[in-house]
Structure 1
Amino acid sequence: MEIAGLPLHPLVVHAAVVLIPLSAGFAVVLGVLPRWRWLSRWPAAVLAVFATGLAFLAKQSGAALTQARPELEPLVAEHSARGDLLFWVTIPFAVLVVVAAWSLGGPSALASGRGAQGSRVPALERVLPVLLVLGAVAVLVLVVRVGDSGARAVWG
């Protein structure tokens, strides 16, 4: 696929490179800053789900690009494998962020304190923040590794 003569893959990849780390950042804020959960809860969930969609689209557009230009296959084999792994890691990460957004408690934005949300599953109150940080680190490391292998394939 092409848009205005450019392959779709580089266009989607640039969106993914911005939004996947942004979703990881919101997930960390959601996990470690309970005072900001009222603000970060749903943006984190939406970004994580959208980032998973972008990872899928990047994976599919990359496969279409290598299918259209088979001579690229040996150059992008490592990049393709890492991109596949990133997609598969973003799925549980998105599920984790959505579960955390739904279940973690936090104060309200109102000065009166009305609207504060208690934890829906108190047992997860200590586990989910740790998992969110670990998941965010994993996603960030994979984004860097995928991007590095892609840059080496194109420019190296």
Structure 2
Amino acid sequence: MGMDTINNLPAHPLLVHGSVVLIPLTALLLVLCAAWPAMGHRISWLLPALAVVALVCVLLTTDSGEWLEERVPETALMEEHAEMGENLTPWAVGLLIGALLVWLVDLLRSSKAEPSGPGSSSGAVRVALSLPVRIAVSVIAVVLAAGSVVETYWIGDSGAKAVWENRVSPHSGD
């Protein structure tokens, strides 16, 4: 994608903040919208839009991390972090798919609510509004949210260790 530096500084440490904020925020909204349809309906456009922005941010962060990896001394911790960093993209894609699924169920629910004549509800709308489907969508949302947040934490923790382990004294002035 190609965002390697910002103001002549490596872009990765700056972009990572976007991923660290947007992935958990998207995950939280995904679970809330899946479990609380009234909220999901109010912000139906926001969830998929936020998921797209989070995915783009993850892709930029990963790309800039690969660029930076080639320019810093190779250590076992840095290598571990770089390998782990590649694991967030599938979770970000999963969040986007989950967001689109929640949005689609809300869209079908909204179309059911619009009067269009007696008995005109399609089979797809009835299935989307059924309790088992709503439960399944909620379970999928929770799994995707939990997985993406845990993965974000693990990657961030490994990055912090790669950069800061054995470089900061526990005492001031040392």
Q: TM-score range by the shorter chain?
A: 0.7 to 0.9
Q: Indicate if the aligned counterparts of 1:26 and 1:43 stay in contact, CA closer than 8 A.
A: no
- Do structure 1's residue 65 and structure 2's residue 68 form an aligned pair? yes
In terms of fraction of residues, the more helix-rich structure is 1
Large movers: runs of 4+ above 4 Å: none
* Count of residue pairs brought into register by the alignment: 149
Task: Indicate the percent of aligned positions where both proteins have the same amino acid.
Answer: 29
How big is the shift at 1:68? 2.6
Alignment equivalent of 1:98, drawn from 90, 100, 106: 100
Q: Indicate if the aligned counterparts of 1:34 and 1:106 stay in contact, CA closer than 8 A.
A: no
Equivalences for residues 2-21 of structure 1 within 5 A: 2-21=5-24
SS of equivalent residue, structure 2 residue 52: helix
Which residue does the alignment assign to 2:171?
Answer: none
Alignment equivalent of 1:140, drawn from 139, 149, 159: 149
Equivalences for residues 105-144 of structure 1 within 5 A: 120=125, 121-122=128-129, 124-144=133-153
SS of equivalent residue, structure 2 residue 137: helix
Equivalences for residues 38-77 of structure 1 within 5 A: 38-69=41-72, 71-72=73-74, 74-77=76-79
Unaligned runs of 5+ in 1: 108-113
TM normalised by structure 2 equals 0.76
Q: Indicate if the aligned counterparts of 1:93 and 1:135 stay in contact, CA closer than 8 A.
A: yes
Q: Indicate if the aligned counterparts of 2:30 and 2:98 stay in contact, CA closer than 8 A.
A: no
The two structures, once aligned, show a CA RMSD in angstroms of: 2.3
Which residue does the alignment assign to 2:169?
Answer: none
Cα gap change, 1:45/1:2 in structure 2, threshold over 3 Å: closer, same or farther?
same
Alignment equivalent of 1:24, drawn from 20, 24, 27: 27
TM normalised by structure 1 equals 0.84
Q: Indicate if the aligned counterparts of 1:16 and 1:51 stay in contact, CA closer than 8 A.
A: yes
Which residue does the alignment assign to 2:159?
Answer: 150
Q: Which has the larger radius of gyration?
A: 2
Unaligned runs of 5+ in 2: 116-120, 166-174
Cα gap change, 1:82/1:143 in structure 2, threshold over 3 Å: closer, same or farther?
same
